[in-house]
Structure 1
Amino acid sequence: MNRTTTILAAIAAASVSSMALAAGSDSTKPPVKTQTTQECKGGKIWDKKKAKCVNPQSGALSDDDLYDAARELAYDGQYENALKVLDVAENQNDARVLNYKGFANRKAGRVEAGMAFYQAALEIDPDYILARSYMGQALIADGDILGAESQLAEIEKRGGRDTWAYAALDKALGGEPSDW
């Protein structure tokens, strides 16, 4: 392979990789239940290293572990516990953290706060399609179908056509009850 071919191949690979990241590699699917929601009580989360339920504490678990636990708690309907877990994440400007603060607040009935968190997540990462899907679902609930359709178009534009985030919002726009 000559130098030009190698550079073009690298650029193509990077483009495909960034498109997959923009679409979230479909990390938008609902989480699988773990010990956090099956065994832990009172806002505790499962610590894989200790193999037991622990209180979420800043620095004790990685932000990724805290995010995964909060996401699982939110999908389980434990919105206040999810928010407590997210509050101890070191990076409060992580779009994922902001998105799930939006999700938990919206599902707990604080729609305006939820929308503010979705907006903050999208200011950090405009390609975060899961935030767009949840925002669209909130817009539908508020009667703003055009706003929701706009979010669906943005998801597709950002490479998310074949993701759960797109399918969930599309389903909600079709009048089917949203799972989330």
Structure 2
Amino acid sequence: MFRPITTLTALFLCLPAAAFAAGGDISTPPRAPECKDGQVMDAATRTCVDAVDSRLDDGERLDAVRQYAYAGDLGAARAVLDAMNDQGADGVLTYRGFTARKGGDIGAAMGWYAAALVANPDNILARSYKGQGHVEAGEIVQARSELMEIRMRGGQGTWAEQSLRMAIETGRGNSY
């Protein structure tokens, strides 16, 4: 017997895709940084600690990177990236690209995005940011190619796809 999917069930089924869409990040802008000067919020103690503090895990650090990057504090974002345990993780490489692009170094950004995609070809957030870099460089054909890759890799309807599509339409990249 066929049963319609309830709204709650449909939402539950979409949550893993939403998390994947942003490389494990939520698909909304991050909140303002909870700490200052490159420090990271320790979830256990709810205090700001140095990014190299051994009590932190890379997930906490990556959350801080997103917060600093979105707030435009690229220096703090880079300092936290430097403290990450796994420097070859695709999320680290993606945000190195993001901070390079937002800092005006599109060439370096493209190198970081390429490295992130070697580490994880299905990283649709890196593909979205790479595509936005192409848009900013006036390379719309390459941006559309990344948009198609996002869709082929299951990213249709995700923030990563929508963000790149909007960048192509407006000619501008996004801040997160």
TM-score by length of 2: 0.82
Q: Which residue of 2 aligns with 1:24?
A: 20
Q: Name which of structure 1's ranges 51-60 and 65-74 shifts more when overlaid on structure 2.
A: 51-60
Question: Aligned-residue CA RMSD in angstroms?
Answer: 2.1
2:108 is aligned to 113
Structure 2 distance, partners of 1:85, 1:147, is 31
Shift in Å at residue 178 of structure 1?
3.3
Matches within 5 A, 1:1-180: 24-25=20-21, 27=25, 29-33=27-31, 37-38=33-34, 40-57=35-52, 59-175=54-170, 177-180=172-175
Contact 1:22-1:159 at 8 Å conserved across structures: no
Aligned to 1:13: none
Aligned residues: 159
| Deviations 1:55-96, CA, capped at 9 Å, x for gaps | 110533101111111111111111111111011111111000
Q: Is the 8 A contact 2:132 2:172 kept in 1?
A: no
Deviation at 1:51, TM superposition (A): 1.6
Distance in 1 between residues matched to 2:157 and 2:166, nearest whole Å:
13
Given the two structures, how large is their TM-score scaled by the length of structure 1?
0.80
State the Cα deviation string for residues 122-165 of structure 1 (Å, max 9, x = none).
00100000000000000011111000000000000001011000
Structure 1 distance, partners of 2:53, 2:118, is 25
Question: Contact between 1:137 and 1:169, CA under 8 Å: does it hold in 2?
Answer: yes
Runs of 4+ with >4 A deviation: 20-23
Pair 1:128–1:51, CA change in 2 (3 A): same
CA distance 1:100–1:94, shift in 2 (3 Å): same
**Structure of larger gyration radius:** 1
The answer for unaligned runs of 5 or more in structure 1 is 1-16
Matched letter for residue 157 of structure 1:
M
> Deviation at 1:21?
6.1
Deviation at 1:41, TM superposition (A): 1.9
